[in-house]
């Protein structure tokens, strides 16, 4: 455990994020202007400088703290003192103001100590996003997100709304009923606005039976102007949930993009993280989707999984290259508080969970070799190696919802348990409202969930 003591309040969140970036496996507590009751072995004192400009003060605190922690640990972080989840926003802002790449590099290097490589990556992505974003700029356009929180089993690293079918399949019917009520209300709220993208995620949407999926997609087509949407993504996700019947339903309802997520092609890792599917199932599901005519398939990979070494990563990348999906999303493992990996930390402690610069470079090289170029990037707290998640895609196959969401292009109406809707106002202000994550509460309090969204988007 690490205790951080500050002499003034107001900057705990930023300080906490940066200390965590150096020590992701440690519990970090920040005490504002007071000493903790019990003293831990590692204590860090942070003095807050005077100043009225909050951003300038924050940057000074983080620069100073970064220098100290970097000196003590002998480590430099790839993103330096930058702890926000959207580093691409910085080059985006510079480019939108007509400022050049040198200016971006100099600012990010001096202010945040970002590495040259990360600056180049963020700038490349910002340029690509700016060119794709034009397709998404329709006055008052919005995106629809639909959450299906069921999964075949719960993976050890997961902290999403995910209810394993074994225990929760009897709730599916009531869940769909509540979801359809929410969708119906949203369709009324947005009836005069252009629908840009639709994303059905989770959980694992294909944990639903073919007939249930059919009802869900039919409902979407009945309620929304689906024909005008530029993209309809369904996360098939877990290969053990994919069947020919389900893919046929997706095809019949015009789904343009799906995910078949291996995470890794190492069977021993899959077993360890509780994904309970085989590598063969991934390959078979992917081949099935290809043969049925899906031309935009995403694969999610995770770097830093327990016990994985560079050889495992190389093997996974060889398989990915052989299969050649249009989209590849490379995640760095994030140790989330609600995940089993964190809760049952002691049983996983023995395994290395390390993402390295070398592994990130290998994935980038493999993606580029396939002609898949980086097009969106985000960071999470507590990521292995303090790296990032990057989406790569063949030109023209970029996941539009991902860009829409990441760059806050417009409103997102999100329906389903544990989802977050977002309203983007003309002046750039953003307001959010969530739905409860708990399945039973979502079902029993659906009227309230509907009302929350009405309040957010009306007026």
Quote the CA–CA distance of 40 and 137 in Å, as a whole number.
Answer: 52
Point out which span in 128-136, 147-155, 251-259, 352-360 binds ligand SF4 (CB under 6 A). Answer: 147-155
Instruction: Tell whether residue 238 is a contact of ligand SF4 (CB under 6 A).
Output: yes
Point out which span in 154-162, 304-312, 340-348, 419-427 binds ligand SF4 (CB under 6 A). Answer: 154-162
Point out which span in 196-204, 291-299, 319-327, 440-448 binds ligand SF4 (CB under 6 A). Answer: 196-204
- Name the residue with tokens 């831990």: 40
Task: Give the number of other CB atoms < 10 A from CB of residue 47.
Answer: 10
| Closer residue to ligand SF4 (CB): 168 or 221 | 168
Quote the CA–CA distance of 167 and 118 in Å, as a whole number.
Answer: 43
Quote the CA–CA distance of 195 and 445 in Å, as a whole number.
Answer: 27
- Closest C-alpha to 437, from 344, 336, 303: 336
Instruction: Tell whether residue 202 is a contact of ligand SF4 (CB under 6 A).
Output: yes
Task: Give the number of other CB atoms < 10 A from CB of residue 120.
Answer: 15
Cβ–Cβ < 8 Å for 267, 250: no
β-bridge partners, 106: none
Residues of span 276-315 touching ligand SF4 by CB under 6 A: none
Point out which span in 48-56, 156-164, 311-319, 420-428 binds ligand SF4 (CB under 6 A). Answer: 156-164
∠ Cα 110 115 120 (to 5°): 100
Q: Which of 155, 200, 208, 313 forms a contact with ligand SF4 (CB under 6 A)?
A: 155
| Closer residue to ligand SF4 (CB): 231 or 235 | 235
Instruction: Tell whether residue 147 is a contact of ligand SF4 (CB under 6 A).
Output: no
Helices 89-96 and 116-133, axial angle in degrees (round to 10): 60
Instruction: Tell whether residue 203 is a contact of ligand SF4 (CB under 6 A).
Output: yes
Task: Give the number of other CB atoms < 10 A from CB of residue 246.
Answer: 24
Q: Which of 21, 119, 151, 195 forms a contact with ligand SF4 (CB under 6 A)?
A: 151
β-bridge partners, 329: 300, 391
Closest contact distance (angstroms) between CB of 401 and ligand SF4 is 17
Point out which span in 46-54, 130-138, 200-208, 378-386 binds ligand SF4 (CB under 6 A). Answer: 200-208
Quote the CA–CA distance of 265 and 299 in Å, as a whole number.
Answer: 11
Instruction: Tell whether residue 237 is a contact of ligand SF4 (CB under 6 A).
Output: yes
CA 225 to chain centre: 27
Cis check for the bond before 203: say yes or no (omega within 30 of 0): yes
Closest contact distance (angstroms) between CB of 323 and ligand SF4 is 19
Instruction: Tell whether residue 154 is a contact of ligand SF4 (CB under 6 A).
Output: yes
Dihedral pair phi/psi, residue 377, rounded to 5°? -150, 135
Instruction: Tell whether residue 160 is a contact of ligand SF4 (CB under 6 A).
Output: yes
Cβ–Cβ < 8 Å for 46, 19: no
Q: Which of 158, 302, 323, 333 forms a contact with ligand SF4 (CB under 6 A)?
A: 158
Closest contact distance (angstroms) between CB of 147 and ligand SF4 is 10
Minimal CB distance residue for ligand SF4 = 158
Closest contact distance (angstroms) between CB of 284 and ligand SF4 is 17
Closest contact distance (angstroms) between CB of 166 and ligand SF4 is 12
Q: Write each residue from 36 to 75 as x if it is in contact with ligand SF4 (CB under 6 A), else as -, in one continuous string.
A: ----------------------------------------
From residue 120, alpha-carbon distances to 82, 89, 406, 439 in Å are 15, 13, 19, 42
Closest contact distance (angstroms) between CB of 247 and ligand SF4 is 17
β-bridge partners, 334: 383
Point out which span in 149-157, 174-182, 354-362, 424-432 binds ligand SF4 (CB under 6 A). Answer: 149-157
Cβ–Cβ < 8 Å for 160, 429: no
| Closer residue to ligand SF4 (CB): 123 or 206 | 206
Instruction: Tell whether residue 128 is a contact of ligand SF4 (CB under 6 A).
Output: no
Size of the site for ligand SF4 (CB under 6 A): 11
**Residue 434 burial (C-beta neighbours within 10 Å; 0-12, 13-18, 19+):** middle
| Closer residue to ligand SF4 (CB): 119 or 151 | 151
Dihedral pair phi/psi, residue 150, rounded to 5°? -95, 150
Residues that bind ligand SF4 (CB under 6 A): 151, 154-155, 158, 160, 162, 202-204, 237-238
């Amino acid at each position: 455990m690490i205790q951080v003591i500050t002499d003034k309040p107001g900057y705990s969140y930023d300080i906490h994020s940066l200390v965590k970036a150096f020590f992701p496996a440690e519990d970090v507590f920040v005490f504002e202007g007071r000493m903790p009751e019990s003293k831990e072995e590692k204590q860090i004192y942070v003095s807050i400088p005077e100043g009225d400009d909050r951003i300038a003060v924050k940057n000074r605190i983080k620069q100073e703290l970064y220098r100290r922690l970097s000196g003590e640990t002998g480590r430099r972080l790839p993103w330096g003192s930058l702890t926000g989840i959207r580093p691409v926003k910085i080059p985006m802002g510079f480019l939108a103001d007509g400022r050049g790449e040198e200016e971006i590099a100099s600012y990010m290097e001096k202010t945040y100590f970002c590495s040259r490589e990360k600056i180049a990556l963020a700038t490349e992505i910002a340029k690509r996003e700016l060119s794709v974003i034009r397709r998404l700029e329709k006055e008052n356009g919005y995106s629809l997100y639909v959450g299906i929180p069921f999964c075949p089993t719960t993976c050890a690293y997961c902290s999403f709304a995910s209810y394993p079918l074994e225990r929760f399949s009897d709730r599916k019917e009531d869940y769909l009923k509540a979801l359809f009520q929410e969708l119906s209300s949203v369709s009324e709220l947005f009836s005069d606005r252009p629908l840009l993208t639709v994303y059905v995620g989770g959980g694992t949407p294909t944990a639903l039976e073919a007939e249930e999926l059919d009802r869900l997609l039919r409902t979407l087509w009945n309620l929304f102007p689906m024909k005008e949407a530029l993209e309809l993504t369904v996360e098939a996700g877990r290969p053990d949930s994919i069947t020919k019947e389900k893919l046929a339903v997706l095809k019949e309802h015009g789904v343009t993009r799906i995910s078949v997520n291996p995470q890794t092609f190492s069977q021993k890792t899959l077993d360890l993280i509780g994904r309970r599917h085989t590598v063969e199932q991934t390959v078979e599901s992917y081949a099935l989707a290809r043969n049925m005519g899906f031309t935009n398939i995403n694969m999610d990979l995770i770097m830093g999984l327990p016990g994985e070494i560079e050889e495992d990563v190389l093997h996974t990348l060889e398989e990915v290259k052989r299969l050649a999906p249009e989209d590849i999303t490379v995640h760095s493992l994030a140790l989330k508080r609600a995940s089993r990996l964190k809760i049952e930390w002691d049983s996983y402690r023995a395994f290395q969970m390390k993402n390295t610069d070398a592994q990130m470079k290998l994935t980038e090289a493999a993606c580029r070799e396939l002609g898949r170029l980086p097009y969106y990037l985000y960071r999470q707290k507590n990521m292995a190696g303090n790296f990032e998640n990057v989406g790569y895609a063949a030109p023209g196959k970029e996941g539009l919802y991902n860009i829409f969401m990441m760059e806050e292009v417009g409103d997102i109406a999100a329906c389903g348990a544990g989802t977050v809707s977002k309203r983007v106002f003309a002046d750039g202000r953003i307001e959010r409202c969530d739905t409860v994550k708990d399945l039973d509460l979502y079902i029993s309090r659906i009227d309230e969930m509907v009302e929350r969204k009405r309040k957010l988007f009306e007026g």
